[in-house]
Structure formats: structure tokens, C-alpha cells
Amino acid sequence: MGWKLSAEAGAPEPQGADGLWRGNQPTGTPVVSEEQLDVLPTLDMRQEMPAPRVSKSFLNQLFQVLSVLLSLVGDVLVSVYREVCSIRFLLTAVSLLSLFLAALWWGLLYLVPPLENEPKEMLTMSEYYERVRSQGQQLQQLQAELDKLHKEMSSVRAANSERVAKLVFQRLNEDFVRKPDYALSSVGASIDLEKTSHDYEDADTAYFWNRFSFWNYARPPTVILEPDVFPGNCWAFEGDQGQVVIRLPGRVQLSDITLQHPPPSVAHTGGANSAPRDFAVYGLQVDDETEVFLGKFTFDVEKSEIQTFHLQNDPPAAFPKVKIQILSNWGHPRFTCLYRVRAHGERTSEGAGDSTTGVTGGPH
């Protein structure tokens, strides 16, 4: 049954069989036809149907689902990438470890000598004896080879030792005069101070000698009769001319005179200009007045530190004294240094010396 709202009372009224509102209708109220009534439900349904709203919510839900799926797919891809990277690192580590193990194994196989294979079975007594005998023979062969090498080394060492000895003796022969020296203080030689030049005395000399702490200031002329020859251990006299008279241990037929002076290479002053240069040798008779000229010579400092000069003693005469007269030096302006002087010859008896020289007299 249909209901119609009354404009005045506001309560529903019964509807007739024709579908139109009947009854208490106020005058002037419009009457709704059936066509209009048919259109009203349609309008009501269109107004109640939210078609556009339903479409937008579905798209929103679809977009949300897609975004969730995409985020899930992204997370899965990131996880897969991390796994792939970790697997790659693991493969790289395994590869490097494999290479290291392969190199170590190769080194053990080729660098370390292989161990001898142990016998798989026990040796019998005869086999053991045979092996010991063969090893003994090998040891004997090795011993023979060692002996041979030892002999060769001994021969080489002996040859080298002989060569070294020859060089040493050659050097010694250069510095050693193989003749008896009668001008040694240890055999009785001495200096005749009355006939010898005075020592060099000057204020500068103290400075010259005291620069060497282990040398005394002025050395006496007796140092020329000592075998100790080292720089500074010499007798110095003033100027470039002087003389020294050596009293021999007996009458000697003089044959040679040897002078010795350190080479310039070991001189502290950088040279040997204080060494004697030109000198003359005289033999003194027993009267101390008669002098016999035995020769004039030159000492060359560039030649050798030891130089021997043959005297002109012909016919040979024996003298109790010998005089060395220095005529010049190698350029020193203040003094001349005389190191060692050696007198060589043959010692004679007093009678033989008198007959030879033709002079009588007792020994000096």
C-alpha cells in the first residue's frame, strides 16, 4: 500500500487502488500522474548508485597491491644480488686458496728432495752385509778423493808460501846489507866528539822536534851507530855542511860505506830535504892527522832509503877511524839530518894493519 504525506498534518494517508492518493487532499494540491510515479523510482536509484566512487576505490586498491608487489620484488632482487655477491667472494676466496695449495704442493714435490723409499720387506743378513760392504767401499773412495784434494791444497799452499817468502826476502834484501857493519855501537864503535861537528841548537829546533811527543829534542851523534831508524831519530848539525868521525872497534880495511835515510813518503814534513846529498869519505891513520881520501859520492833520496857506496881503497889500507864529510843536503836551509852510517870491510890485526898502512903505533 502506498503512502502519501500530507502537507498540513504530516501523516501518511491511505492510497487508492489506482495508485493515486485519495481522501483528504487540500484544494489546489497538484496531483502526480502514474508516468511521473514511474519515473521517480528511477531517479531515486540513480541518486543512490555511487558508481564513480566504487571505480576510484578499486583503482586505489589495485595500485596499492601493485606497489606492495613491486616492493616485494625489489627486496627479492636485492637479496638475490647480495647472495650473488657473497657467492662471488666465496668463489674468489676458494680460487685463491686453491692456487696457494697448488703452489705449496708443487714446492713440496719439486723443491724438497723426496725421501728414500723404505724397504717394503725385511732385509736378510746377506743383503744387509752386502749393502754395508758397498757403502764401506764408497766411503773408502771418498776418503781417497779427500786425501788427493788435501795433497793438492798442500802443494798449492806450499807454492804460494814459497812465493810469499820470496817476496818477503826480496823486500828484506832491498833493505838489508849482507855485509858486516863495523860502525855499530854494539860491537865497539863510538863517536870522536872532538872531530865531529856540533849539534844543531836553535830555538826553532825545539819546535821542530817537540812536535813528535815520543822523540827527544836533540839526538846525540851516537844515534847514527844504532840500528833503530825511524823518522826523527837522527843526528842534526847546523847548515848543509858538517862531518862526523867514527872510531871503529879495530883497524878495518874499509871497502864500502852505507848511508840510510827514511824515504820522503814517511817523512812528517812532506819531504827529505834535510837528508845529506854530496859527501866524501876519508880514512884516518893512527896519528889522527893523516887522512886518506876514499871517495866522493851522492846520496839520492829518490832512489832508495839504503844505499851502499864502494870505496876507493886501493891498495887496501886498514884504518882505526873513518870520517864522513857532508858537503851538501837536499835543500833544508837550517840543518842536515844524518841517520845511520855503516862501515864495511875486513878487520885486521894490529901488525897487519901497521904493515899495510906503513904506520906504527898502538891501537887507539
Which pLDDT belongs to residue 126? Answer: 83
Q: Distance between CA atoms of 333 and 205, rounded to whole angstroms?
A: 12
Which pLDDT belongs to residue 354? Answer: 43
Which pLDDT belongs to residue 360? Answer: 33
Which pLDDT belongs to residue 362? Answer: 35
Pair 191, 245: CB distance under 8 Å: yes
Pair 314, 356: CB distance under 8 Å: no
CATH topology of domain 185-203+216-347: Jelly Rolls (2.60.120)
Taking the whole predicted model, whether its pTM rises above 0.85 is answered as: no
Task: Count the Cβ atoms, other than its own, within 10 Å of residue 255.
Answer: 16
Pair 187, 347: CB distance under 8 Å: no
pLDDT along the chain (364 residues), means of 10: 43 48 49 54 51 63 82 79 75 83 80 54 77 87 88 79 62 66 94 94 55 56 89 90 96 95 73 91 92 96 91 92 96 93 88 40 34
- Residue by residue, what is the 3-state secondary structure of 215-266? CCCCCCHHHHHCCCCCCCCCEEEECCCEEEEEEEEEEEEEEEEEEECCCHHH
- Grid cell locating 320: 882505526
Which pLDDT belongs to residue 33? Answer: 57
Pair 309, 298: CB distance under 8 Å: no
